[in-house]
Every structure is written in structure tokens, then in C-alpha cells.
């Protein structure tokens, strides 16, 4: 294994373990990926951020073809579309952080810049946060909604689902998902009259 790939894998494992250890995700719900030599390295289906190792990555082509026999996370299309849309992005992290999820359940009047700027850091470290309409996790509807709304922000909140953030490398994506979660926490704590929206359990 070349040194660059080894460093990327170690950073990805560290970021995943750290997020899990501090309650920023749970179970096998999160996924992350990074680019290396024109291929996507993404956490394999069913893996847990808390126990992730360098062997827990599927390798796929930009077209989604499996290259190492491991089944990729079912939300691979979210990562593929992120990379296609934003050439500067080389890593993507998707989590179900509790405050990002809570904020995602609010009723929104707009679909871009959806987290208030209580501090300057979200804009500085991540940019604008776009809203992706609800689609069942892992469904074609979710993937289509994501692809069609990538112009709404630099990173995103998936309605009634969680957050997804890209960066130039794993550590930048990690810092971004952390900042989004903290900004969502502040927003949840300061919103005086939240209105929540439930999903239709049949979709």
C-alpha cells in the first residue's frame, strides 16, 4: 500500500472512531468516503464507525462498479453525486448527528442557507447549508432529490434524516461535519417556537 493511501485510510478510520465515541453517530447508520487515484473508497455496507478499520472499505469506480468484492454502503450514490457536482471535493462524510437530525425535522420556509448564522464558523469552515427534500434512506427518490438540489448549498441537511458534508480531504470533511452539528445544536437551543414535520411512515 502506498503511503498516501495509507494516510487517507488512517485519517478516515480516526474520524469515524472519533465521531462514534462522542455520540455524533450510532450503530451502522453513518458512512464516509474519499477519492484516491480516480476511485472511491467508501465504508462497506453494515460497517460501524465505532469499530471501523482500514479493511472495512469498498473500492468502486466513479460509475459505481465494485472493484474489490466488498459491498459499498447503500448510500454510495450520495457520495458519487457529490464528487460529480463539486470537483474540489475529495472526501464526504454522512452522519445522523442528533442535532442535525433534530434540525432536519423542522418546517423550513426556504431550501438554502437553512442554519442561522449565530457564529461565523459554519460559513467560514463549510459554507451554505442546503436542504434536500425527504426520501427514504437508500432509495432512488432520495438520490434523485439530492442530485437535483446540489445547487442549494456547499453541504446539506437531508430532511428528517441527517447531514452530509464534503471537503478537500477527510479531515476537512470531519471538521465540517463537526461544525455543522455544533451550529445545528445552537440553532435548536435558540429557536423559540419550533415546528416539526413528521414523515409519512409508508415512504
Position 196 scores a pLDDT of 86
Predicted confidence (pLDDT) at residue 74 exceeds the cutoff of 80? yes
Position 76 scores a pLDDT of 98
Predicted confidence (pLDDT) at residue 200 exceeds the cutoff of 80? no
Catalytic residue numbers read 75, 121
Predicted confidence (pLDDT) at residue 202 exceeds the cutoff of 60? no
Domain boundaries, the chain: 3-190
Q: What is the mean pLDDT of the chain?
A: 95
Predicted confidence (pLDDT) at residue 35 exceeds the cutoff of 90? yes
Predicted confidence (pLDDT) at residue 197 exceeds the cutoff of 90? no
Q: Is the dihedral of CA 109, 110, 115, 118 positive or negative?
A: negative
Q: What is the mean pLDDT of residues 103-117?
A: 94
Predicted confidence (pLDDT) at residue 27 exceeds the cutoff of 70? yes
Position 191 scores a pLDDT of 84
**Which residue did the predictor score with more confidence, 200 or 148?**
148
Write out pLDDT tens, residues 81-92: 999 999 999 999
Write out pLDDT tens, residues 124-149: 999 999 999 999 999 999 999 999 99
pLDDT grade, residue 192 (50/70/90)? confident
Write out pLDDT tens, residues 146-178: 999 999 999 999 999 999 999 999 999 999 999
Specify the CATH architecture of the domain 3-190.
Answer: 3-Layer(aba) Sandwich (3.40)
Position 179 scores a pLDDT of 97
Amino acid at each position: 500500500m502506498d503511503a498516501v493511501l495509507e494516510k487517507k485510510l488512517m485519517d478516515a478510520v480516526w474520524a469515524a472512531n472519533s465521531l462514534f465515541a462522542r455520540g455524533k453517530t450510532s450503530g451502522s447508520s453513518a458512512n464516509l468516503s474519499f477519492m484516491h487515484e480516480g476511485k472511491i473508497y467508501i465504508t462497506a455496507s453494515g460497517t460501524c464507525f465505532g469499530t471501523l478499520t482500514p479493511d472495512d472499505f469498498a473500492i468502486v469506480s466513479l460509475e459505481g462498479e465494485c472493484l474489490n468484492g466488498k459491498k459499498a454502503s447503500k448510500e454510495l450514490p450520495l457520495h458519487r453525486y457529490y464528487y460529480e457536482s463539486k470537483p474540489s471535493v475529495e472526501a464526504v462524510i454522512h452522519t445522523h448527528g442528533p442535532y442535525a437530525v433534530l434540525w432536519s425535522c423542522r418546517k423550513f420556509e426556504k431550501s438554502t442557507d437553512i442554519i442561522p448564522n449565530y457564529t461565523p464558523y459554519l460559513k467560514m469552515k463549510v459554507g451554505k447549508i442546503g436542504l434536500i427534500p425527504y426520501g427514504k434512506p437508500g432509495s432512488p427518490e432520495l438520490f434523485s432529490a439530492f442530485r437535483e438540489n446540489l445547487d442549494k448549498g456547499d453541504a446539506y441537511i437531508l430532511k428528517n434524516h441527517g447531514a452530509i458534508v464534503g471537503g478537500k480531504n477527510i479531515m476537512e470533511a470531519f471538521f465540517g461535519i463537526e461544525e455543522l452539528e455544533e451550529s445545528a445544536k445552537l440553532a435548536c437551543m435558540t429557536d423559540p417556537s419550533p415546528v416539526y414535520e413528521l414523515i409519512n411512515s409508508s415512504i
